Amino acid sequence: MSAEVEGAASFAQLIKCVLTNFHLLYRDHQPLTTNHERSFFVSYVVPGLLALSKVSDTVSFTW
């Protein structure tokens, strides 16, 4: 498998993970509380970064 095809497959897998997670978060949407430690970023952006770290081994982070 060429590197370009492998990269495209990894990107497609990433998009699947991010969109699935986004869909699940918005189906169970609860009002965003501004006085809580879980901000919009933590609730909606970090899961996308988690999907990125699971699909590609190039990104890793600890919380």
Three-state DSSP class for 26?
helix
pLDDT at position 61, please?
67
Length of the chain: 63
Higher pLDDT, 4 or 62: 4
Mean pLDDT for the chain overall? 74
Across 3-7, average pLDDT: 81
The whole-model pTM stands at 0.49
Other Cβ atoms less than 10 A from the Cβ of 51: the count is 21
pLDDT in tens, 21-36: 777 777 776 666 666 6
